[in-house]
Amino acid sequence: MNRILLMPSLSASLFYKEIDLLQPISFDRVFQYDKFNALCSGFVQLGRYSDLSNQTRVLEMQKGSGRKWTVERDLDQLRDYSKGEFEDHEVIRIVGKNPFLWHDHWPVKDYAKVFECLVLIDEIGREADRVVSRIRAVGRETQSNSESVELENDSSSFQPLPYVAVHMRVEIDWMIHCKKLEQRLNTNQICSSKKEIMERVANIKGLKTPSVVYLAVADKLLQNSSVLEGWEEGFLPYEKKKLGVDGIYKKYPYLIQSAIDYEVCLRADIFVGNSFSTFSSLIVLERTQKIITMGVNMCGKDVTWPSYAYNIQGESNGPMRWVTNMSHSTLQEISYGTNHISC
pLDDT tens string 129-173? 999 999 999 998 887 776 554 544 444 555 678 899 999 998 877
CA 207 to chain centre: 23
pLDDT tens string 223-253? 566 889 999 999 999 999 999 999 999 999 8
Q: What is the C-alpha to C-alpha distance for residues 38 and 45, in angstroms, rounded to an integer?
A: 9
pLDDT tens string 172-192? 778 888 999 999 999 999 999
Domain-wise residue ranges, the chain = 5-99, 122-148+155-336
Contact 277, 174 (CB under 8 A): yes
User: Out of 14-18, 52-56, 77-81, 86-90, which region has the weakest mean confidence (pLDDT)?
Assistant: 14-18
pTM for the model: 0.87
Among candidates 339, 319, 333, which has minimal Cα distance to 285? 333
Residue 257: per-residue pLDDT: 92
**DSSP assigned state of 31:** B
State the number of CA atoms in the 13 A half-sphere of 6 facing the CB: 12
Residue 118: per-residue pLDDT: 94
Q: What is the C-alpha to C-alpha distance for residues 159 and 301, in angstroms, rounded to an integer?
A: 20
Mark out the alpha helices in 231-337 (DSSP H runs): 240-243, 246-250, 254-266, 278-294, 332-336
Q: What is the C-alpha to C-alpha distance for residues 91 and 4, in angstroms, rounded to an integer?
A: 9
Q: What is the CA radius of gyration of the chain?
A: 22
Average pLDDT over the chain reads 86
Separation in Å, CA 292 to CA 10, 52, 259, 326: 28, 39, 23, 10
Separation in Å, CA 315 to CA 94, 133, 151, 195: 45, 32, 32, 18
Q: With bands split at pLDDT 50, 70 and 90, how would you rate the model's confidence at 299? A: confident
Residue 251: per-residue pLDDT: 94
Q: With bands split at pLDDT 50, 70 and 90, how would you rate the model's confidence at 312? A: very high
Residue 153: per-residue pLDDT: 44
* Residue 80 clears pLDDT 90, i.e. is over it: yes
Q: With bands split at pLDDT 50, 70 and 90, how would you rate the model's confidence at 303? A: confident
Give me the phi and psi of 6, to 5 degrees please.
-65, 135
Give me the phi and psi of 133, to 5 degrees please.
-60, -40
